[in-house]
Amino acid sequence: MPHDFETTLASRAPRPGERLAPRAGSEPRDYVVWTFVAMAASCAFAWGGLTLWIVWGMLAS
């Protein structure tokens, strides 16, 4: 009988007291990282908009 790696993984039930591996991206530190990335992107967008507004005003006058 051949050994099928995928069948073995799919059929193996966790043992009592065994914790399953967390899903990728579900660790708490990932939320901290993505929050920082979102804040940095929004700040960059805001500063870029402010800079363009000032430059536009200088060119228009």
Is 0.85 topped by the overall pTM? no
Domain count, the chain: 1
Assigned domain for 37 exists: yes
For 50, the token pair is 């402010």
Assigned domain for 35 exists: yes
Q: Considering only CA atoms, give the Rg of the chain.
A: 25
Assigned domain for 23 exists: no
Q: Tokens 């050994």, residue?
A: 3
Assigned domain for 41 exists: yes
Assigned domain for 51 exists: yes
Assigned domain for 45 exists: yes
Task: Give residue 60's domain range.
Answer: 30-61
Q: Tokens 């007291």, residue?
A: 17
On whether the CB atoms of residues 54 and 48 are closer than 8 A, the answer is no
Report how far Cα 56 is from the mean position of its chain's Cα atoms: 35
pLDDT per residue as tens digits for the range 15-53: 777 777 666 656 667 788 899 999 999 999 999 999 999
Assigned domain for 57 exists: yes
Q: Tokens 């993984």, residue?
A: 9
Please report the pLDDT score of residue 24 as a whole number.
Answer: 62
